A and B are shown apart, each in its own frame.
Chain A
Amino acid sequence: MEREAVILKKSKVNDWVNVMREDHTVYGPVKYKYDYHFKELEPGMEVTLEYTRSMIPPKKFLHPQEENLITYRRNDGMETTPTKFEQKQVILGVHPCDARAIEVYDEIFGGDLPDVYYWNRRNNTIIIAVTCTVPDENCFCMSLDESGPTLEKKGYDLLLTDIGDSYLVEVGSMEGSLLLQFEGLFEKATEEHMHAKDKSVEVTKMKVQRKIPDVPGLHDFLEHNYENEVWAKETKKCLSCGTCTLVCPTCFCYHVEDFNRFNLEDGNRVRIWDSCQLIDFAEVAMGENFRKDREARLKWRIYHKLAYWQEQFGTLGCTGCGRCIQYCPADIDMTEILAEIRGDKVHA
């Protein structure tokens, strides 16, 4: 099938952002001191599409760190309106690993019991993905999806790929194509441009060096190695700080708390990102804590993502984005743990 595509000169990216901003809130990766962060793009801000990863994934625009579920007056009812969207939000520069994670989110927050707060955001979100060109040593997307640094036909409204002085812009949805209706920004793409993309992707794929071998066998492999001594060794290093999960694009867990005001009448029921690595995550009312041990918590994250997720949601819980490796202060690296259990040589 022929791909529907146009060309956008790199020099025109900012112009495009500006015209999109007229009817949308546009977010994109912006460099701070050390890391990239998805921020609202305001006039004069430079968006960077050649970046390796943002610290917090774009999931925050669909499932924010904190979200009000219910505003209540204890003796006088409640209001439960999900956030209103005056205009749609565009997330520009979503990497394939993060776009795949959003597809995972669609499963989690969908199903028989869809989450209206999530879908209210999701249905008002346009994803402009970008083929990754600068993977680093922590990336291992190729082990989890053979398309690796790019997306094949789904998971995006538009997909940009760097082909030199331009981006090839492929259309994934009607909503995406509506963002290409601006005069003077886009040119027709030719076969040649398509080839340039394919070549660029091939080059990037070569750069993704880190691997998890035998992904389909992970469930059985992990179950066989639940008592492996590597776990205790890694547990000694672990700070249980929750970082690995908070930066993870597929982690979705949240806590719910009622915050009351001094009049003891008004308050908000709020959900806040939670983490299975934290001590009270599996604690129940009478004090029983089913994952009190640090080791059980450390294992749960990895087992959940790599062994159980497939059966639960039909995909893996990891997209190989490398965040949990890069941002762990204790250098805990699940790909190296797996390698060590397998007896493979571990790079220092």
Chain B
Amino acid sequence: MDKPRIAVYKFSSCAGCQLQFINFESELLDMLGQIHISYFKEATSLVEDPPYDIGFIEGSVTCPHEEKKIKQAREDCKVLVAMGACACEGCINTLKNYRPIEEQVKRVYEHPEYIDTFDKAYGIDHFVDVDAYIHGCPVDRDELREFVVATLMAKKPFLRPHAVCVECKLNENECLLLRENGLCLGSVTRGGCGAVCPSWGRPCFGCRGPNVDANPEALVEIFRKKGYPDDEIRRRFQYFSGETPAFRKGAEACV
């Protein structure tokens, strides 16, 4: 069988997710034994024409020309994968979604008149059908490997639908929510990251979006009991994944 032709696209993003491919380092040769890179600008200037078998999309869609580009990518790729928080949930690009756009453009750019941008930033599934999601900011390398390998083997990848708390307990992390009254979103955020932030003593920011049966209203109650003002809780829910239905519920539960 021919090796599947892979494309890796960049939209509004920091390029950290695609870097995870390159970070496979010692495994790169084995990986390249299984896939053919057709389009991956961060890795190679050689570009082959579409169609591609699998397109990995990094980045959110924030402006009209990106909308055109994502629709083209959808046409060019048999399987389209949202890779990382920007492509999945919009990530920190969605911070602009909660304030008037004119105000923000003025604040950032010297010549706002050159800026042609949407009022809001979106994950790519706002514009196109997406076949699979790999969450995280950036994506976790083990999960990326699991996804690529499982896809090549026509197998359902093991990507945890559970809360980050599971991996926190497996790692024996001390609970930041309980022990430090931290504003930790781990209990409503999809794990699979190995609880990387809490393992380094940082509360979960929810970059991976909600876990499958997240209960954000319950967490809002817990934060309130710990004395957090609603405004701060809402901002935490809106930090990385505010446009997901579950985190929106969390934000809306705050007055």
Binding site for B on A (CB under 8 A): 32-35, 37, 55-56, 65-66, 236-243, 246-247, 257, 259-264, 272-273, 275, 278-280, 294, 327, 329-330
Contacts and interface: CB of A to CB of B under 8 A. Distances in A.
A33 B174 contact: yes
Given A261-B27, A327-B178, 19 more contacts: A35-B179, A55-B174, A236-B217, A238-B215, A239-B187, A239-B214, A239-B215, A241-B163, A242-B165, A242-B166, A261-B30, A264-B153, A275-B166, A279-B162, A280-B162, A329-B165, A329-B175, A329-B177, A330-B222
A329 B215 CA distance: 12
Interface stretch (B6-14, B94-102, B143-151, B229-237): B143-151
Q: Chain A binding site: helix, strand, loop or mixed by DSSP? A: loop
A260 B150 contact: yes
A246 B170 contact: yes
Interface of B: 24, 27, 30-31, 33-34, 145-146, 148-150, 152-153, 155, 158, 161-163, 165-166, 169-170, 172, 174-175, 177-179, 186-188, 211-215, 217-219, 221-222
Contact of B31 (A239, A241, A262, A273): A262
Contact of A262 (B33, B162, B166, B217): B33
B172 A240 contact: no
Contact of A263 (B24, B33, B146, B214): B33
B158 A257 contact: yes
Contacts of B175: 243, 327, 329
A33 B175 CA distance: 11
A232 to B, nearest CB: 13
A263 B30 contact: yes
26 contacts: A34-B179, A35-B179, A55-B172, A55-B174, A56-B172, A66-B170, A236-B217, A236-B218, A237-B218, A239-B163, A239-B188, A239-B218, A240-B213, A242-B162, A242-B163, A259-B146, A260-B149, A260-B153, A260-B155, A262-B34, A262-B148, A262-B149, A263-B30, A280-B161, A280-B212, A329-B187
A241 B187 contact: yes
Nearest to A39: B172
Contacts of A240: 163, 213, 215
Contacts of B33: 262-263
Contacts of A241: 162-163, 165-166, 186-187
A246 B166 contact: yes
B170 A65 contact: yes
A273 B161 CA distance: 15
Given A264-B153, A278-B162, A243 B169 contact: yes
Contacts of B155: 260
A272 B27 CA distance: 24
Interface centre among A55, A65, A262, A273 (most CB of B within 10 A): A262
Contacts of B211: 279
Contacts of A257: 158
Contact of B161 (A33, A246, A279, A329): A279
B172 A243 contact: no
A329 to B, nearest CB: 5
Given A239-B215, A242-B162, A329-B175, A247 B187 contact: no
A294 B214 CA distance: 10
Contacts of B27: 261-262
Contacts of A278: 161-162, 166
Nearest to B215: A239
A243 B222 CA distance: 15
B149 A261 contact: yes
B221 A237 contact: yes
